[in-house]
Structure 1
Amino acid sequence: MKNIKSQIGIVLTTMIVLSAATGCKKFLDTEKQGTYTTDNYPYPKGSGPYDTFLFGAYNDLRSYDVHCTGFFLATNVRSDDADKGSTAGDGGADANSFDTFPVLPSNGIVSGMWVGYLSFIAKCNNVINQVDNNPAITASDQIKMQSKAEARFMRGYAYFNMVRFFGRVPILDKVLSVSAVNVPQSSAAQIYTFIESDLQFAAANLPASWDPRFVGRATSGMANGILAKVYLTQKKWAAAMGAANMVMTSGQYDLSTPYDKIFGESGENSQESVFEVQATASATVPTDNGVQINQFQGVRDGGVWNLGFGWNVPTSYLEAAYEPNDPREARTFLRRSTASTTYQTVYGENTPTTWNNPIYNQKVYTSPAFRALYNDMSGYWLNIRILRYADVVLMYAEAANEIGGAANITLASTALNSVRSRARNGNTAILPDVVTIDQATLRTAIHHERRIELAMEYDRFFDLVRWGQSQSALAAAGRPGFVASRDNLLPIPQTQIDLSKGVLTQNPGY
């Protein structure tokens, strides 16, 4: 697989000059994955002359510091749904503090996240700079707008994560010189305005779908779906309902994929998929074009079960939240067998009694057939599900219910029950429709459904924060160290404050 390298020439507050090392992956499937060379790279038969720069940005979606340890620690382990897992010594204080609080400004994982996301943003800015300022590249206006829209979608998504992680961050909207790079933080409100602008532009200028060769590239559905979540986070209910409705009426997505098929290799890029980080592997290149997030969550044991590090494991509090016989629990919880009960994986393998943890996250469990095909246990090839169609439907339901009124509450109930119907899979004895015209009761039902439908999928902590429930939920889950006024946000890395010579300032409570 070809590795395209281009010098970006952007300096961040860390004073690091970035180099865009990009790998072709599933969104470049013109032939068997893993076999690109300098001779068969898709341009000029691909989408346009800015692909080299775009793939530099797309590649950062697979970056360790963007979508790996810090990502699931900050979104899952900080919540009531997951523990760090493994042993106390594994990962040390930097990892364990996401469980126990507070996460300190000296935390190396947090520092990596800050640098990783700003590196990602810098590559998006480079794409825009190439489109606007590189006279050596000739392209139609349509290709220019589309390429900028791809970059602005990724930049908007990156800033959405950053503002939820850190609150106030610098807005870097262009390629900056060394002398101009030390930028003060903007307020969260300013950052959300910037994110909305990026995603609105992306939604207006991206295609609804791509040629199958380019599966995984940014679409209008991705942009509207993330935009719906941006609006929902700010309680802009009508705007959130409208953006979600754009996805729901696009004709690109539906709930036809069975729940137990969504998360494995065979469920990648299905009708359920709105936004997936694309990953791939081959027997000769098992990890370079993939994502490490699955390995960190894989079963920690020996021999054939030596699949990973055993982090991000479901809690008993999540387990207790399921309704009786909800089949989604079996697809989410990968259980260790006991002397009296033999459990199986989703692929029919009996689990042993020797695992270090009693439960693992089965949504990242890889197929034994693919492990054999790639002669690798790590799971780098499995895509990350960032935004599913069911999430969009539940956002629509939540927004409609919050707007209120009989008509909207009916729309909210219908949307909610469509998700429950898919989950029950024809079994009328379980998961009955929610029948209520009371807004508060329906709100509770929608919150519950989000927790169960999206369990272990990197949303729970953000949901608790935006619902104003983080303090009560974490206290109920036995996390006495959590203080919402401090821990709803991560600290600004102290190294970045020091490098900025005080231009960056710390979040409250740290």
Structure 2
Amino acid sequence: MKSKIKYSILTILLTFALVSCEDYLEKYPLNNPSDATFLSNETELKMAVAGCYNILWSRVQSMPFVPVFDQVSDIGWDRNGSPLQAAGRGDADSRNADLLGLWTNLYQGISRCNYLITNMERGQENIPAQVFAQSKAEARFLRALYYHYLIELWGGVPLVTTPLSLSESNVPRATKSDIADFLITELNECANDLPQETNPLSGRASKAAAWALVSRIALYNERWSDAISAAQKVMAMEGTEVLLHDNYMDLFQYAGQDSKEIIFSVQFLKGEQMHSMFRFFGTRNAKGHTNKKPSYQTADTWECIDGLQIDESPLYDPQNPFANRDPRLNFTLSLPGSIFLGFQYETHGDSLYCWNYNVDPPQRIPNLEATHAYATFTGIGWRKYADNLDKDAVNDSELNMIVMRYAEVLLNYAEAKIEAGQIDQSVLDAINKVRQRPTVEMPPITTTDQTELRYAVRRERKYELSCEGLRLFDIRRWKIAENVMNLPVLGRMKKAYPAIAPRVDEHGTSYYDNIPIAQQGESADFKMRVVEIRSFDKNRDYLWPIPYVEMDTNSEMTQNPGYGD
């Protein structure tokens, strides 16, 4: 079923690209639809819808774009000396190639949606009414999704809802607030024509997907009542169309791709559309490169199993720092002492050999995690989205990428209710459903104090959603990026662990005030390694720079403050 749907989309999207209002049809094609008549029947309409979805396959360095955002937040780091690394380090400018690529792809998706919405009337009489209405709704949903990313990354942008001629292409920026209002209205309207069924393997928009996206956009833009209402609509579908998955780790492996928790995901297909997540997250022993890494501080985030932070819990052992911790720590990160991708994962500098459990009987092999020059920058890695089924083709993964899942909706609801001052049992229930799913089973949150709950749900988002592309947006909207993005990215002590726990603040951020950190030229055997020094200007870096191409070609465009062009 999954492969058939994916193959159908892949075989028709190139046809739509030829008529997607990008002046490719100056010559009159003999084998493709004409721009003058395209969308005159059901087949062509389905081609156009597929083309709108195609932008979801956009990648940055062969990595699906959704989890990329965590690599430029406080919890992640890109080892490559790349434009993406510059964005995380705080010195991106308007010529940053990775940011330009994201901007271009998102607007290309919007252009395709606008073309369909504007021109689909041509074939209305030839297309079943339900197909016609759903196709338009899907295009409106996707346009809203693409605009959501644009406004959260760049703030106010040109709001374009129809195809533009060259003479109309100079469009000023709309405000972020106005665009958010437009998107919320669009999604609430198009939900009426989207299917009730939420099929995680279809890759298609549903009512739940539209409402989940409303809950996110409204939350990010402080429309508390809209966020609450939209989340409640999804929550009303619990047990039929949406459901928390018992096994947390399965959600990010092939085993869990059909879970009802997954509301909307980007679909991949081996041989057609693939990605390199295994190579980026997999270890050197497993033929990966681990060049997308979590900062070591990220491992200090999760509580102990008594529900206390590691600097407060008597269960925390500095010499065995990953024991007695929230199980999501080990589900999210590859940690020293664990088994990852069938190998003993150990980054201690003296562990020159490790076990390979992928063979029977297991064998001792040279441990590249301790000896390879590019293996141990932070000493930990990402575990999510690295599935051992991809071990023989590390660049050819077809593992789907989650865009929205039910746990996020529950946390959106809880946060919006807290900020609206509507604290009741439903808030605690929403948070605790996430905390107490089987395989996690953390102590329940019981406080009803608004301030304590605010920090509890913010930490819970970090515990639950790390490596899913949401962290950058959270630290921006909470206005804590100016604190967390001015901290260095740290790596583990190569031959030890700190003798004490770091200080952990109310947001779950760790500070190594009383722990030795290696200075330039010093050995990091018994001191924390400084992997990267970062800088964040609170007057500039809450938004990315508008790409120079847009500045050069759109006379109405203005640059974001602090970028100077």
TM-score, length of structure 1 as denominator length: 0.81
Report the Cα distance in structure 1 between the residues aligned to 2:233 and 2:355, rounded to whole angstroms. 41
Which residue does 1:459 correspond to in 2?
A: 470
Query: Tell me, which stretches of 5 or more residues in structure 2 are unaligned?
Result: 1-6, 27-41, 305-324, 336-344, 370-374, 490-532
Report the Cα distance in structure 1 between the residues aligned to 2:459 and 2:53, rounded to whole angstroms. 33
- Pairing of 1:35-434 with structure 2 (within 5 A): 50-64=45-59, 68=63, 71-73=66-68, 75-85=69-79, 90-92=80-82, 94-132=83-121, 134-135=122-123, 138-209=126-197, 215-250=202-237, 251-281=240-270, 285=271, 288-290=272-274, 292=275, 294=277, 297-299=280-282, 301=284, 305-307=286-288, 309-324=289-304, 325-335=325-335, 336-338=345-347, 339=350, 353-355=367-369, 356-357=375-376, 358-368=379-389, 370-372=390-392, 376-405=393-422, 408-422=423-437, 424-425=439-440, 431-434=442-445
SS in 2 for 1:364: coil
8 Å Cα contact 1:299/1:310 also seen in 2: yes
Report the Cα distance in structure 2 between the residues aligned to 1:105 and 1:345, rounded to whole angstroms. 47
Q: For residues 300 and 504 of structure 1, do their structure 2 counterparts lie closer, same or farther at Cα, with a shift above 3 Å needed?
A: farther
In the TM superposition, residue 461 of structure 1 has moved relative to its aligned partner by 1.1
Larger radius of gyration: 2
AA of the residue aligned to 1:422: R
Per-residue Cα deviation, 1:301-354 (whole angstroms, up to 9, x for no partner): 3xx7223x5333111221111112211111111244245696999999999731
In the TM superposition, residue 263 of structure 1 has moved relative to its aligned partner by 0.6
Structure with the largest fraction of helix:
1
Report the Cα distance in structure 2 between the residues aligned to 1:420 and 1:181, rounded to whole angstroms. 48
Per-residue Cα deviation, 1:457-504 (whole angstroms, up to 9, x for no partner): 10011011111211122234566511122111110011221122x322
Report the Cα distance in structure 2 between the residues aligned to 1:125 and 1:103, rounded to whole angstroms. 30
SS in 2 for 1:262: helix
In the TM superposition, residue 366 of structure 1 has moved relative to its aligned partner by 2.1
- The alignment-based identity, stated in percent, is 27
Which residue does 1:489 correspond to in 2?
A: 543
- Pairing of 1:436-475 with structure 2 (within 5 A): 436-475=447-486
8 Å Cα contact 2:158/2:172 also seen in 1: yes
8 Å Cα contact 2:296/2:380 also seen in 1: no
Compare 121-130 and 241-250 and name the one that shifted more. 121-130
In the TM superposition, residue 78 of structure 1 has moved relative to its aligned partner by 2.6
Report the Cα distance in structure 2 between the residues aligned to 1:482 and 1:211, rounded to whole angstroms. 41
Which residue does 1:3 correspond to in 2?
A: 11
In the TM superposition, residue 67 of structure 1 has moved relative to its aligned partner by 9.0
8 Å Cα contact 1:244/1:395 also seen in 2: yes
Report the Cα distance in structure 1 between the residues aligned to 2:401 and 2:108, rounded to whole angstroms. 20
Query: Tell me, which stretches of 5 or more residues in structure 1 are unaligned?
Result: 20-46
State the Cα RMSD in Å.
Answer: 3.0
Report the Cα distance in structure 1 between the residues aligned to 2:232 and 2:62, rounded to whole angstroms. 28
Q: For residues 462 and 210 of structure 1, do their structure 2 counterparts lie closer, same or farther at Cα, with a shift above 3 Å needed?
A: closer
Residues paired across the two proteins, number = 452
8 Å Cα contact 1:9/1:18 also seen in 2: no
AA of the residue aligned to 1:367: N
SS in 1 for 2:437: helix
8 Å Cα contact 1:347/1:367 also seen in 2: no
8 Å Cα contact 1:100/1:481 also seen in 2: yes
In the TM superposition, residue 271 of structure 1 has moved relative to its aligned partner by 1.2
AA of the residue aligned to 2:268: A
In the TM superposition, residue 269 of structure 1 has moved relative to its aligned partner by 3.0
AA of the residue aligned to 1:270: S
8 Å Cα contact 1:264/1:363 also seen in 2: yes
Report the Cα distance in structure 1 between the residues aligned to 2:435 and 2:281, rounded to whole angstroms. 28
SS in 2 for 1:169: coil
Report the Cα distance in structure 2 between the residues aligned to 1:387 and 1:108, rounded to whole angstroms. 27
8 Å Cα contact 2:326/2:440 also seen in 1: no
